[in-house]
Chain A
Amino acid sequence: MSMEDLYQEIILDHYRKPKNRAPELADEAVHVHHSNPLCGDEMDLRIRVVDDRLDAVVFDGEGCSISQASASAMTQAAVGRELKDALDLAEDFRRMMHGDDPARPDDLGDGIAFTGVAKFPVRVKCALLGWMALRDAIQTFERGASAHTVTHEE
């Protein structure tokens, strides 16, 4: 298992210079906190919604390079999308992590660089953390709530 299979250059770029990383978001609609107790990854995700669209998505947290880079790539791919569309994209990413070919490779943007992570089962949940937080944030918004905390078991 080579380092390059797992850590594509794009992944390292997001890890070194994360996009949309911020501890706060003005006019946030929802704040979710997700954690992976097994690895100790922690993720705060905030979304702002305007006219049923993700107007802004920011994350903050601690964890391995895969979890942080994946969240960064996720924010870029998600911003500007309609909520329903973003949920669909998150599902596409989830399926990709379980070995399926993505249906929307172009829309996943840099997220596509994480294909190789599917070959490293213990790291899949790291790559999924940001995307699952996004899905939860949108569903929390649709329920009319503004915050939610989720602990991912193995």
Chain B
Amino acid sequence: MAIDVAAVRRSLPILDRELDGHRLVYLDSAASSLTPEPVLDAMDRYYRWSRSNVNRGVYPLAEEATDLYEGARTVLAGFLDADPTGVVFTKNATEACNLLAYGYVRAHLGPDDVLLSTVMEHHANLVPFTQAAAAVGAEVRHVPITPDGLLDLDAAAELLADGRVTFAAFVHVSNVLGTINDVPRLTRMVRDANDRAVVHVDGAQAAPHLPVSFRDLGIDSYAITGHKMLGPTGIGALVARPELLERMEPFLTGGDMIRDVTLTGATWNDVPHKFEAGTPMIAEAAGLAAAVGLLEGYGMAAVRAHERELTAQLLDALGTVAGVTVHGPKDVDLRGGAVSFALDGIHPHDVGAMLGSRGVCVRVGHHCTKPLMRCLDVAATTRASSYVYNDVDDLEPLVDGLEAAAAFFAR
């Protein structure tokens, strides 16, 4: 069933805002999505009605809070077709990648290992691993991209050929190019080259927009972040095979993550709790569960279909503006709804300022992908990105704003 955009929009009072007399047009969901009222309500209900800590009290209220929190784990696991025992809540995707970099790469890899990354990674899925590789003396190799913004799998095959890659970390959907990478295929390539390799995927831009089955992807771990999928800020997750979590060292230590503590040492709690030190983000977990509930209500196939169509319309609309060059794949089957582009001769900051003055929110800058900017030979891009609350009516203000920018900054 198609998404009832009008109904979604009714749950987002922020969209009623006017900015200097302009309707708010939010095209920056790749940076952070808007938060529908049912998500706010779920968090509010915890604070107003079930407020207490988790995993501690024996009174009913505390059990309610624990159920909310652990229930969210189950809900998220169901959404991603993963084992709840493998779901570790983190602050965001960045922390999920760091958890893996510290708990696995730094703890288990050494100078004989090679890490595989790509040039299209968000800094969140790059820096923790390059730092970890440097710390253990491992080499890092980077899969390049083709001119149309796809991972160059022939080049990947060469990088894998000597069988030394024991850890791979790459993005599922690029936050700049929109490219949907063929995760199962690259994963098979990595494993065929070395069957001990661990494969990690950054799903921050995929889980909000595509049906994702962790099991079917065939990978070892997956990072997500709640605030890009209708959820609140402050919660994300590392979704992993429980066996991988078992092999990992703790990242943060302290309360809740222990089994026993002496004055000089400690033993660790079972996974996933071993990685959740201290009081967790309880309200945010409740909010994330509500967000997942909404997405499941729409159906992720419908979410994808909606965005696929809107992206096609967006690409067409951008095609009507003189001087626009879109980065990344033009085929909507190969891409998600984050569309980066250049407006000839005009710096993205100026484009963003013009659009912003007309109520159109887009992201300008390097999008935390500096190596990719260097590959594209640009300093920055303008990026419009859509979600379930956008429709074709949001494209006209964008196009008008781009034309206004072209006229205003014409030399």
Contacts and interface: CB of A to CB of B under 8 A. Distances in A.
Nearest to B380: A40
Chain B interface category by residue count = 20 to 34
A146 B198 CA distance: 51
Interface string B364-390: 011000100100001110000000000
A16 B410 CA distance: 8
Interface stretch (B61-69, B235-243, B347-355): B347-355
A32 B212 CA distance: 50
A134 B20 CA distance: 37
A63 B365 CA distance: 12
Contact of A64 (B347, B357, B378): B347
A2 B20 contact: yes
A18 B353 CA distance: 21
Given A6-B353, A40-B366, A40-B373, A62 B409 contact: no
A66 B349 contact: yes
Interface string A1-44: 11100110000100110000000000000000000011111100
Contacts of A64: 347-350
Contacts of A148: none
A126 interface: yes
Identify the interface centre among B348, B357, B378: most chain A CB within 10 Å of its CB: B357
Contacts of A53: none
Contacts of B410: 16
A9 B110 CA distance: 59
Given A15-B409, A39-B365, A65 B347 contact: yes
Identify the interface centre among A6, A37, A65: most chain B CB within 10 Å of its CB: A65
A81 interface: no
Contacts of B350: 64-66
A38 B350 CA distance: 15
B365 A38 contact: yes
Chain A interface category by residue count = 20 to 34
A31 B365 CA distance: 27
A39 B350 CA distance: 11
A123 interface: yes
A150 B173 CA distance: 35
B192 to A, nearest CB: 38
Given A3-B357, A64-B349, A40 B20 contact: no
Contacts of A7: 353, 408
A66 B349 CA distance: 9
A39 B379 contact: yes
Contacts of A126: 349
B356 interface: yes
B48 interface: no
Nearest to A62: B379
B401 to A, nearest CB: 11
Interface string A119-148: 010010010000000000000000000000
Contacts of A16: 410-411
Given A3-B354, A63-B347, A39 B408 contact: no
A110 B312 CA distance: 45
Contacts of A41: 379
B20 A1 contact: yes
A41 B379 CA distance: 8
A70 to B, nearest CB: 13
A64 to B, nearest CB: 4
A2 B379 contact: no
A62 B373 CA distance: 15
B383 to A, nearest CB: 14
Interface in A31-61: 37-42
Interface string B321-362: 000000000000000000000000001111001101100000
A40 B411 contact: no
A36 B72 CA distance: 42
Interface in A50-97: 62-66
Contacts of B366: 38, 40
B37 to A, nearest CB: 28
A37 B371 CA distance: 12
B374 to A, nearest CB: 10
A65 B346 CA distance: 8
Contacts of B353: 3, 6-7, 120, 123
Interface string B391-411: 000000000000000001111
Given A38-B365, A39-B365, A40-B379, 18 more contacts: A1-B20, A6-B353, A7-B353, A7-B408, A15-B411, A37-B370, A39-B349, A39-B379, A40-B373, A40-B380, A41-B379, A42-B379, A64-B347, A64-B348, A64-B349, A65-B409, A123-B353, A126-B349
Per CB-CB distance, the 8 closest pairs between chain A and chain B, nearest first, are A40-B379, A64-B347, A64-B349, A3-B357, A16-B411, A40-B380, A65-B350, A64-B350
28 contacts: A1-B356, A1-B357, A2-B357, A3-B354, A3-B408, A7-B353, A7-B408, A12-B408, A15-B409, A16-B410, A37-B370, A38-B366, A39-B349, A39-B379, A40-B373, A40-B379, A40-B380, A41-B379, A62-B379, A63-B347, A63-B379, A64-B347, A64-B349, A64-B350, A65-B409, A66-B349, A66-B350, A126-B349
